Structure 1
Amino acid sequence: MYARSEPAQREPDSSARPPLVRELLLVAGLFLVYKLGRQAANGHVEEAFRNAGHVWSFERAVRLPGEGAVQALLLRGDTLVHAANTYYATVHFPATLLFLLWLYRRRPRHYVWSRRILAVLTGAALALHLLFPLAPPRMLDAAALVDTGQVYGPTVYGDTPATDSMANQFAAMPSLHFGWAAMVAVGLIVATRSRWRWLWLLHPAATLLVIVGTANHYWLDAIVVSALLAVAFAALRPPHTARPRVHHPWPAIPVPSAATALARAGGPR
C-alpha cells in the first residue's frame, strides 16, 4: 500500500513581506499626503463652481442618469439616508486599512502590488484635485440636490468650505472614495481563490450609490477614477499566484525477467 500525500497548504511567503516599521511609515505617509494634498487644493471657489457647471452640463449632454434619481431612493426613509451618510463617513479609511493589513499578513506579494496601485492612484487623484477643483453636486444650484450629510447626519464636512479646516470640499474630481473601494475589491479578488470572492464587488457598488446619492460626487467622478485605476493596473501587473503542486507517487511496476517473458510468449521459436 502506498501512502496518499496530502495537498500542500499555501503559506504566506514571508520572504516577500517587507519590514513592518517601514510599511507603517509608508502607509501613514500615504494617508498624510492624501490629507495635506486635499487641504492644499482648498480655495478656488469661483473655478470650482464653474467646473461644476461644466461637469453637470456634460453629463446631461451625454445622457448620463441624473444623480437625483439615486438620491430620491435614499430619501424614501430617514434610516436609509442616515445609513448612507454613515457609510460615507466611516467605511472609506477603515476598509482600506484593514485590506492592507490582511494582505500584509496573508498575501505579502499582493500587498506590495496593492500598496503601489493605491499610491499611484492617490497621487494622480491629488494632481487632478489641484488642476481641476470641483464643487460637489450638493453645492450646485442647478442640480437641486439635498446635502444629506448636513440635513440628516452624520457629516464629515463643515457647514461651509470656508470654515472647513479638515477637508477640501472642492476635491470631488476624481472620487477616491470609489477608487479605493474598487481597489479593495479587485485586490481581494486577485489575491484569493474562494468562489465567493466576487462578492467583494458589492463594496464599490455600494460606495458608488452612496457617493452619488448623498450628492458628494458626480457620476463622472467615479468614471474618471476608474480610468486612472485601469492605467495603474496596466502599468503595474499583479504578482502571479502559483497553485501548489500536489505530488502523486506512482506505484512501482514490476519488470518481468527475460525468462518470464519468454515463458509468457510460449518459449523460444
Structure 2
Amino acid sequence: MNARTEPAEAETAPATPARPPLIREFLLVAGLFLVYKLGRQLATGHTGDAFRNARRVWDLERAVRLPHENAVQSALLHGDTLVHLANTYYATVHFPATLAFLVWLYVRRPAHYVWARRVLAVVTTAALVLPFTFPLAPPRMLTGTGLVDTGRVYGPSVYGPPSSDHLSNQFAAMPSLHFGWALMLAIGLIAATKSRLRWLWLLHPLITLLVIVGTANHYWLDALVATAMLGLALAAIHPPRRTATTAGRGTGVPVAREPVPAGAVR
C-alpha cells in the first residue's frame, strides 16, 4: 500500500501561494497612493530652500560631469509632436502603469505581488521624508539653465502655478518616484516571468527617465537617488523563490518532479 501512495505524494506539485484578501489589498494599495499624494502635500513650503537646493544640485551635476538635461530636452524640441508625446507620457502613464502592474501580479503571481507591494510601500514612504529635509525645485523652475517648462508651453501639463497648486508639492523633485516606480515595475515583471522578451520591460524606466529629464521635471540626480533607495529596499525585501510549478506555467518549460523511488508503482 505504501508503495502505491508514496509516488503520488512525491509527484504532488507545490501549492500555488494564496492571494491576499482582495478588499484588504485594495485598501492597502489605495492607501499607498493616498500617502504618496498627501505626504507630498504636507511637505509644501520652504520655497527659498527649494531653489537654493536646486542650484546646488545643478552645480553638483556639472561638477561630476553628468550630461546636461538640456541635451535631452533639445532632442524633444525638434518637433511639437515628440514633446507633446513626452508630456502626455509624463502625465498619464505613471499611476495607471503601476496600478496595472500590481493588479497583474495579484491575479497571476500572488507571491510576487506581496513582494512588489512591500517594496513600493517602503520606497514611497522613504521618499516622502526627503521633501521635509531637502526641498527641491524642479529644473523647469530654475533660471539660467536654458530649460523650458514643456508642459506649460506645449501641453498637456499636470501642474498649475505653484502658489495655487493644492494637489501636489512641486518642490519635492527628489527623489523621482516616476522613475523609481517605473524601475520597480520592470524589475518586478522580469522577476515574475520567464519570457525571453521580459528584459524589454526595461524600456519603460528608460523612456520614463528620458521623459522626466527632457520635460525638465527632474534632474538626473533625482533618478539616481530613487535608484539607490529602490536598491536598498530590494536588498532588504527579497523576492519569493520560484517553484517548479510557477517556473513552468505558461512557458513551455517542463515542471520538475520529485524522483520516483525504484520499484514503486505509478
Q: Same fold (TM over 0.5)?
A: yes
CA offset at residue 142 of structure 1?
A: 2.6
Indicate the residue corresponding to 1:182 in structure 2.
183
Deviations 1:61-96 (A, max 9, x none): 000000000000000000000000000000000000
CA offset at residue 247 of structure 1?
A: 4.8
CA offset at residue 243 of structure 1?
A: 2.3
Partner Cα separation in structure 2 for residue 190 and residue 30 of structure 1: 22
CA offset at residue 193 of structure 1?
A: 0.4
Specify the code of the residue in structure 2 equivalent to 1:216.
N
Indicate the residue corresponding to 2:51 in structure 1.
49
Indicate the residue corresponding to 2:171 in structure 1.
170
Give matches, 1:129-140, under 5 Å.
129-140=131-142
Indicate the residue corresponding to 1:113 in structure 2.
115
Indicate the residue corresponding to 1:157 in structure 2.
159
Indicate the residue corresponding to 1:220 in structure 2.
221
SS in 2 for 1:161: coil
Whether 1:146 aligns to 2:187 is: no
Indicate the residue corresponding to 1:258 in structure 2.
none
The unaligned stretches of length 5 or more in structure 1 are 1-7, 254-269
The total of aligned residue pairs comes to 242
Q: Which runs of 4+ in 1 moved over 6 A?
A: none
Give matches, 1:1-269, under 5 Å.
13-15=16-18, 17-158=19-160, 160-244=161-245, 245-247=255-257
CA offset at residue 180 of structure 1?
A: 0.2
Give TM-score, length-normalised by structure 1.
0.86
Of the structure 1 ranges 126-135 and 194-203, higher mean CA displacement relative to structure 2 is found in 126-135
Structure 1 residues 20 and 62: alpha-carbon distance in aligned structure 2, compared to 1, 3 A threshold: same
Structure 1 residues 86 and 12: alpha-carbon distance in aligned structure 2, compared to 1, 3 A threshold: farther
The unaligned stretches of length 5 or more in structure 2 are 1-10, 246-254
Q: Percent identity?
A: 69
> For the Cα contact (< 8 Å) 1:12–1:105, is it kept in 2?
no
SS in 1 for 2:244: coil
Give TM-score, length-normalised by structure 2.
0.87
> For the Cα contact (< 8 Å) 1:41–1:129, is it kept in 2?
yes
Indicate the residue corresponding to 1:5 in structure 2.
none
Partner Cα separation in structure 2 for residue 55 and residue 11 of structure 1: 51
Partner Cα separation in structure 1 for residue 192 and residue 14 of structure 2: 13
Deviations 1:131-165 (A, max 9, x none): 1110000000032201000000000000x211111
Structure 1 residues 62 and 12: alpha-carbon distance in aligned structure 2, compared to 1, 3 A threshold: farther
Structure 1 residues 19 and 141: alpha-carbon distance in aligned structure 2, compared to 1, 3 A threshold: same
SS in 2 for 1:60: helix
Structure 1 residues 88 and 11: alpha-carbon distance in aligned structure 2, compared to 1, 3 A threshold: farther
Partner Cα separation in structure 2 for residue 68 and residue 129 of structure 1: 25
Deviations 1:224-257 (A, max 9, x none): 000000000100010001223345999x99xxxx
